[in-house]
Amino acid sequence: MKTNRNCLTRIFIALIVTVCYNSLQAQKAQGLYMLASDFISHKLSFSTNEHTHCKIKLHNLSIRSNIKITRGDSVFQFSKDSVYGFKDHEGISHRFFNKTVYAIINPDETILLYRVLAAGKTKYEAETYGYYFSKDAASPVLPLRMGELERSFSDNNVFVDFLEVHFKNDGELLEFDQNHKMYKLNHLLQLSKIKNN
């Protein structure tokens, strides 16, 4: 009997911790990007900065696939599949795509780069991330690999040639160009557009 009580107590505490953690995570959004065009133009809907009585619950850690917004007495719900993404209170933009939340590394560039914390990390391992890209804000999110980039930009032979010349492996694709203050991928894309004209 005592064992069952201890077990129930542990389950109850774990449940409370999970609910509290979900509540904290749910309060992080500063506003929503309803469409890719909203993201490009920096237009936030349901901005918590403009509406002091607005709360956005993303349910990132739960199995729910909806977003709940409370503004005053009004409640709005959206499927995550129908919303482009959100900006958190740290100013980082995120994108929803295929039931995953991607942090956008370079929101003001053409080729968007994303990172996602890799699953399966133990408490003794350093955090590792998976990296992804999209050809532009409206394109699908794909793994950041040379082959995926070449397929996505198969209509731009100059850019594909630049990729082959400037990057020896997938690990170099995240190189930042300090001189031009942008990721090298985007600088090479700009150069290819100039050369194509």
CA distance 163 to 181: 19
Residue 75 inside a domain? The answer is yes
Number of domains composing the chain: 1
Residue 47: HSE in the Cβ half-sphere, 13 Å Cα cutoff = 7
Its domain, for residue 35, covers 1-90
CA distances from 143 to 17, 115, 168 (A): 33, 10, 17
Residue 145 inside a domain? The answer is no
Q: What are phi and psi of 28, to 5 degrees?
A: -80, -20
Residue 154 inside a domain? The answer is no
pLDDT at 66: 86
Q: Is the dihedral of CA 45, 108, 132, 134 positive or negative?
A: positive
pLDDT along the chain (197 residues), means of 10: 56 44 52 96 87 72 73 87 92 93 96 90 79 97 98 97 96 96 98 91
Residue 152 inside a domain? The answer is no
pLDDT at 59: 67
Q: Is the pTM of this model over 0.75?
A: yes
pLDDT at 16: 46
Residue 116 inside a domain? The answer is no
Residue 46 inside a domain? The answer is yes
Residue 72 inside a domain? The answer is yes
pLDDT at 48: 81
